[in-house]
Amino acid sequence: MKYGVERLSWALNSFFIVAVLTFGINNYSDVLAQDLLDKISDIDRHCLHQNVYFEAGNQSIKGKVGVAWVTLNRVRSNEFPNTICEVVWQDKQFSWTQDGKPDEPAENTADRRAWEDAGLISEIVLFEWLKGSNGPVAGATYYHADYVTPDWAKEKKWLGIIDDHIFYK
């Protein structure tokens, strides 16, 4: 039964991505974004997927979306590297890249589902970013968990809170 539920979940997720990316293309910016999306490497997509999963895997959809947008906003910013993977793996920027743990999800059902969700959200946010959207975190390039107060936070403009993360620009 477990295999059937996971397979069904994977099939529904795949169908959703295909439907959004195929039938959702209805204006010129969508066509341009689709062309750009085709040029994003699988490696960069995987880095975004990992970052959303490891930084916000236990957060709501909105929380995952916020983390994806911060990652992509950094790519657009002159203050950060120019590719998704370079942004994600920039030294000491995201805690999961420094924790010494495996960089793939555990094999239990809950983690696999969170991994699938992170992948779907990453693809949808990436498409919106390529369309030129600003996202729900208003150009944020920083965030931190609400249980820490990094020194840099006092130098940034506070934008808001989503789940356990505080966002800044």
Q: What tens digit of pLDDT does each residue of 62-96 get?
A: 999 999 999 999 999 999 999 999 999 999 999 99
Q: What tens digit of pLDDT does each residue of 44-63 get?
A: 999 999 999 999 999 999 99
Q: Is the CB of residue 94 less than 8 Å from the CB of residue 160?
A: no
Q: What tens digit of pLDDT does each residue of 134-153 get?
A: 888 989 999 999 999 999 99
**Eight-state DSSP code of residue 131:** T
Quick one: three-class SS letters along 88-114? HCCCCCCHHHHCCCCCCCCCCHHHHHH
Distance (Å, whole) CA 58 – CA 55: 8
